[in-house]
């Protein structure tokens, strides 16, 4: 009760100085009755916040993994090659890359709870459209609508958590956030295989509706309405330039990966590069750019963005390449393929409870270097899979891959915010999530391009096992190159987060 008698200025000062967690401050600051109140006045436990946010991430992650399993069947219904279905993945990631930069500003301006609810509703609307798709362009447009929702769900959910947790609890909070979200990838492949084999693939998208309704109810009841004290003007010019740049780069890369469209793809990529250079010039001249490039001056943030981006290229390509290899190269049904690819998500889930202890024992730098090499080597082995390999060996390999790669992303997602002040968290989450999704999209494009290159060399219209091997090795080499930047982390980087005192 002593705190409740303090003045508003005192409370704001403590939040800025990091003495009082933002989640506690929400309960103390007078609220606009029209904005609504949280149930019980405030969210007092970051685990509750993490689990609620994870409901939305569960819906998104399950949708993505189920869709990857269904791509060959959808390609047959749409009358296109299976490799062309990369457009259905890229259009979603395109929306993420274009609109994520605006998510931080929207959360500060309209409130994190309001925008998070709107994000879930948009995702549900896109899912309804996807269920009605009759062609590849239709599904690409519907997936873009889904991406509008995903563009706000990912960074705003992370922003709410970052504002609700003390620094020493951040590793544990990230693990709590990611663990339930990993249930989506675990259920996705077998559920997708079952739906495609025994039902209609459209049920993939209709399953999102009850999950979305539950998410809206939980957000309304338990998540607080965070708003920034200083509301920056929206950077319209920056939004347009960054959107044109990211959109042209993504579609340029995606088109360049298809046969017969390389020239058009190169032209779009060139437009994207020019727009990107213009944005860099613009960002240096305005007070509140939509993507704050000055964040790259923060050492731990910069290294996490660069090394994490290289690693995410491999992570983006793997869910695209693996189901295609198992179904086209091995002749498996979608159900059989899904029952195997689930292993990666199971390995990811197993790592989350160990991540805080591993980081406390070895620290961020040593863990990222060693674990990154092991994870990359595991994905290289995936390219060597053959139909005569025992299913148990393939399953175990994917389990190990998911285990080590999951740790890598938990570490990157945490160390990125080690040196970021609270008043720049919105900008940092938008910036980080933009590059996160851009690299996942680029991974799909690079995987598809490597696969097409192999098909051109072999002169076949259907990828062979050797083509998949080459594609896996290409994306694996990219993630292995992240070691160069992992070695540049300070030896005591993130010591306050991990508790490592080596």
> For residue range 344-379, what is the model confidence (pLDDT) as tens digits?
877 877 776 788 888 889 999 999 999 999 999 998
* pLDDT the model gives residue 228: 66
* pLDDT the model gives residue 168: 66
Q: What is the pLDDT of residues 191-241, one digit of tens each?
A: 777 777 777 888 888 888 888 888 888 888 877 777 766 667 788 898 999
* pLDDT the model gives residue 183: 64
The closest alpha carbon to 152, from 100, 208, 215, 224, belongs to: 100
pTM for the whole structure: 0.72
Query: What is the DSSP-derived secondary structure letter of residue 290?
Result: S
Q: Which CATH superfamily is domain 40-234+290-498 in?
A: MFS general substrate transporter like domains (1.20.1250.20)
DSSP H helices in 163-198: 170-181, 183-198
The answer to which of 58-67, 260-269, 420-429 has the lowest mean pLDDT is 58-67
- Phi (first) and psi of residue 75, to 5 degrees: -60, -40
Residue of 456 and 487 predicted with greater confidence: 487
What's the mean pLDDT in 279-305? 91
Query: How is the chain split into domains, by residue range?
Result: 40-234+290-498, 235-289
228: enclosing H helix or E strand: none
Whole-number average pLDDT of the chain? 78
Query: What is the DSSP-derived secondary structure letter of residue 43?
Result: -
Judge whether residue 185 has pLDDT over 80: no
Q: What is the pLDDT of residues 47-103, one digit of tens each?
A: 677 777 777 777 777 777 677 777 778 888 887 777 677 777 778 877 877 888 888
The closest alpha carbon to 143, from 72, 81, 100, 86, belongs to: 86
Residue of 61 and 44 predicted with greater confidence: 61
How does DSSP assign 227-291, residue by residue? --SS-PPP-HHHHHHHHHHHHHHHHHHHHHTSTT-HHHHHHHHHHHHHHHHHHHHHHTTSSS-SS
Provide CB contacts within 8 A for 312, sequence distance 6+: 409, 436, 439, 440, 443
What's the mean pLDDT in 490-501? 84
Q: Which residue has the tokens 């006045």?
A: 41
CA–CA separation, 323 and 51 (whole Å): 29
């Amino acid at each position: 009760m002593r705190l409740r008698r303090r003045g508003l200025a005192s409370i704001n000062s403590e939040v800025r100085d990091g003495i009082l967690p933002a989640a506690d401050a929400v309960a103390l600051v007078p609220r606009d009755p029209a904005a609504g109140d949280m149930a019980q006045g405030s969210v007092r436990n970051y685990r509750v916040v993490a689990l609620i946010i994870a409901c939305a991430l569960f819906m998104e992650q399950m949708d993505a993994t189920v869709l990857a399993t269904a791509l060959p069947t959808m390609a047959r219904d749409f009358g296109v090659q299976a490799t062309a279905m990369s457009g259905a993945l890229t259009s979603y990631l395109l929306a993420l890359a274009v609109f994520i930069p605006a998510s931080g500003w929207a959360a500060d301006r309209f409130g994190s709870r309001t925008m998070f609810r709107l994000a879930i509703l948009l995702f549900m609307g896109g899912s309804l459209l996807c269920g009605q798709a009759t062609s590849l362009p239709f599904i690409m447009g519907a997936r873009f609508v889904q991406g509008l929702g995903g563009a706000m769900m990912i960074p705003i959910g992370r922003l709410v958590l970052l504002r609700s947790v003390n620094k020493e609890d951040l590793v544990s909070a990230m693990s709590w956030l990611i663990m339930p979200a990993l249930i989506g990838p675990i259920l996705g492949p077998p559920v997708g295989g079952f739906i495609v084999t025994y039902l209609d693939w459209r049920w993939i998208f209709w399953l999102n509706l009850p999950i979305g309704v539950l998410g809206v109810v939980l957000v309304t009841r338990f998540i607080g309405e965070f708003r920034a004290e200083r509301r920056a003007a929206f950077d319209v010019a920056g939004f347009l330039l960054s959107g044109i740049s990211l959109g042209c780069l993504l579609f340029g890369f995606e088109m360049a990966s298809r046969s017969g469209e390389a020239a058009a793809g190169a032209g779009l990529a060139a437009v994207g590069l020019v727009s990107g250079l213009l944005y860099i010039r613009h960002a240096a001249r305005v007070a509140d750019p939509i993507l704050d490039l000055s964040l790259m001056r923060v050492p731990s943030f910069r290294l996490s963005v660069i090394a994490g981006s290289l690693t995410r290229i491999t992570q983006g390509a793997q869910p695209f390449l693996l189901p295609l290899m198992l179904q086209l190269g091995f002749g498996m049904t979608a159900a059989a393929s899904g029952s195997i690819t689930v292993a990666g998500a199971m390995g990811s889930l197993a790592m989350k409870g160990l991540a805080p202890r591993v980081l406390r024992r070895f620290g961020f730098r040593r863990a990222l270097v060693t674990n990154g090499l092991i994870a990359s080597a595991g994905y290289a082995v995936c390219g060597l899979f053959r139909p005569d390999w025992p299913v148990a060996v393939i399953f175990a390999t994917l389990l190990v891959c998911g285990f080590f790669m999951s740790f890598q992303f938990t570490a990157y997602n945490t160390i990125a915010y080690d040196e970021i002040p609270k008043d720049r968290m919105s900008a940092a989450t938008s910036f980080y999530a933009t590059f996160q999704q851009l690299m996942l999209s680029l991974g799909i494009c690079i995987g598809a391009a490597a696969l097409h290159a192999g098909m051109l060399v072999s002169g076949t219209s259907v990828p062979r096992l050797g083509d998949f091997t080459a594609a896996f090795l290409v994306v694996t080499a990219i993630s292995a190159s992240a070691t160069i930047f992992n070695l540049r982390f300070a030896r005591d980087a993130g010591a306050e987060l991990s508790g490592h005192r080596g």
